[in-house]
Amino acid sequence: MSSWPVNCLVLMYKSLIMKNITRRNFFNNAIKATVAGSVAIPYLFNGVKAMAQGSTEELLSSSASALQFSQIKLPYDYAALEPNIDATTMDIHYNKHHAAYIKNVNEAIAAENISFATEKEFFANASKLSAKARNNGGGAWNHNFFWQCMMPNAGGTPYGKIVSALDGAFGSVPKFKEAFTTAAMTRFGSGWAWLVKDASGKLVVTSTPNQDNPLMDTAEVKGTPILALDVWEHAYYLKYQNKRNEYVANWFNTINWEEVAKRLA
């Protein structure tokens, strides 16, 4: 009887050899299993504690998978959107502004024990977040989205089903551009212009202040973002100074309509 663990190990070992797993892997895995066992204990303990307090939410929030924002790789070179957006602006915008939002939101998530599991859930609870978490979380997400709204040699003209979608919602593509430009131009101070699909599936143009976005429960117009334009001065001031109107007009040349079509699907 006393030799059964040894026999058991021998059997496991034999079966692993049959699966062509090396001896070294077997011992590594055995070590990992032991480590995993001891790591699991505090999580189990947290779970039990939450159950004792009788809250399902607390139990869920004790999960080890806290949300982390990460910065996407820029899908093109800094100079790729020239002459509409200059390389220096892209470099500073991506490496300084956006990188800082990412760093700061993750700091806030850790420091404030923010336990939302997904970005969607995070923004749906924006009204409950600290200013640091809300502003930097918005900044992190909005820029990841914004980089993908643009592409080199974009051509500037929507095509296919995008045209019929914009025609249906705004009357025509020029009328959509007019509505979007108005949203971008009338957003006082810093913020964003958006094309959004609202809860009823309707396409609408809106704008948000600061780093807010339409995913936030605080947004005037809520919905799924389809297209976004950053109208913070840091997005255009080096090249356009006070001429936001020229920046907005030229930005239309950079729109990645292929990506917009995917988001409309």
Alpha-carbon distance of 29 to 21, in angstroms, equals 10
CB-nearer residue toward Mn ion: 129 or 229: 229
Least Å distance between CB 234 and Mn ion?
A: 5
Stretch that binds Mn ion, among 21-29, 59-67, 121-129, 223-231 (CB under 5 A): 223-231
Least Å distance between CB 118 and Mn ion?
A: 23
Estimate to the nearest angstrom the gap between the alpha carbon of 206 and the chain centroid.
19
CB-nearer residue toward Mn ion: 62 or 208: 208
Q: Verify binding: residue 259, Mn ion, rule CB under 5 A.
A: no
207: helix, strand or coil: strand
The helices-and-strands tally (H runs, E runs) of the chain is 12, 3
Stretch that binds Mn ion, among 61-69, 70-78, 170-178, 231-239 (CB under 5 A): 231-239
Of 180, 185, 189, 265, nearest in space to 228 by CA: 180
Selected from 230, 231, 259, 264, the binder of Mn ion by CB under 5 A is: 230
Q: How far apart are the first and last CA of the chain?
A: 64
CB-nearer residue toward Mn ion: 108 or 235: 235
229 DSSP 8-state letter: E
150 DSSP 8-state letter: B
Please give the residue whose beta carbon sits closest to Mn ion in the complex. 230
74 DSSP 8-state letter: P
CB-nearer residue toward Mn ion: 194 or 232: 232
Stretch that binds Mn ion, among 67-75, 199-207, 215-223, 225-233 (CB under 5 A): 225-233
Cβ 224 vs Cβ 124: under 8 Å:
no
Of 182, 171, 242, nearest in space to 207 by CA: 182
Q: Report phi then psi at 14, rounded to 5.
A: -60, -45
Selected from 180, 232, 236, 240, the binder of Mn ion by CB under 5 A is: 232
Stretch that binds Mn ion, among 48-56, 168-176, 230-238, 249-257 (CB under 5 A): 230-238
Least Å distance between CB 139 and Mn ion?
A: 7
| Contact residues: Mn ion, CB under 5 A | 230, 232, 235
